[in-house]
Amino acid sequence: MSGEWSSFTPLDVTVQNGLCALIPCNYWYPSYLNNKPRIGIWFNSEASNDNNVALHSKDSSKESTKFRHRTRLSGDLGDNNCSLVIDNVTQQDAGPYIFRVEFGRGDGFNYYPVTQLHITALKHHGQTLTCRVRYPTVSSEQILTLNVQYAPQNLSITSPDNVNNSWVSVNEGNSAAILCSVHSFPTSNLTWRHLGVTLNTTRSSNELWMEFPQLTRQDAGVYQCVAENEHGTAERDVTVTVEYAPWNLSITFPDNVSISRYQCVAENEHGTAERDVTLTVECE
């Protein structure tokens, strides 16, 4: 394969939150570049975006702040090994990764397809660990519960009303309640926000309700739930729409039209509005 640009990387890699991630990678290039110095770059994006550099083999100052001092190559670029190691992975590290090599003077290449990194929760939180010691005449046993700390994840928004893809629809005048919940340990502080204003908040809880006793059309808009503990932050938006009957019906006429009586009726599933007008216009 030394005569062409090609590589081998997996399409998907899955690792548990807080552990070390390895993205295996081997690459090949035209043979005339065999003895040339090279730079290896990993991007946390679909393309070679300088704002999302996960690793730069020559200049670590070009790496994104969140990756600095956490990434390294597991092998030697000179041996066609471009495998990436990420220490202490978090949910923020999930996403696409792509490798690029640069030889200088315009000789460089992005190796596709990208690898998707998936971060899963630690399955061991809340499980028990049993230690048993046995001797010929006596035995002892102790049971411990494992407490694994992790950042907020799996944040969800639910409501007894119509919820569809982060969208809640309620009739004007009705009440509504929306629940924000998250998984984390220790428990998270939750906050509901709208237009940059904090509506309500709770500390050390993984659930927070937002309630509307009587919705008006002014309550429509985008609301944001933010969960935070000492290990990280998660957030999600929900759009509230308010349905209402026709109102503020108006009637206008073009010039030079003579109408003695005119009626306009507006109707939707929530109600009807109508308006009459009597108008005499002199036409020249």
pLDDT (0 to 100) of residue 258: 55
* Residue 101 CB burial class (10 angstroms; 0-12, 13-18, ≥19): buried
Query: What pLDDT score was predicted for residue 162?
Result: 59
Assigned CATH topology for domain 150-243: Immunoglobulin-like (2.60.40)
Q: Which of 67, 69, 74, 66 is nearest to 22 (CA)?
A: 74
Report the pLDDT value the prediction gives residue 264, as an integer from 0 to 100. Answer: 77
* Average pLDDT by stretches of 10, the chain with 284 residues: 79 85 92 92 91 94 92 92 92 93 89 91 73 80 82 83 71 88 89 91 85 90 94 91 81 60 76 72 48
Instruction: Tell me where in the chain the CATH 2.60.40.10 domain(s) lie.
Output: 6-120, 150-243
- Domain 6-120, second-level architecture: Sandwich (2.60)
Tell me, what's the pLDDT at 261? 65
Q: How far apart are CA 243 and CA 245, in angstroms?
A: 7
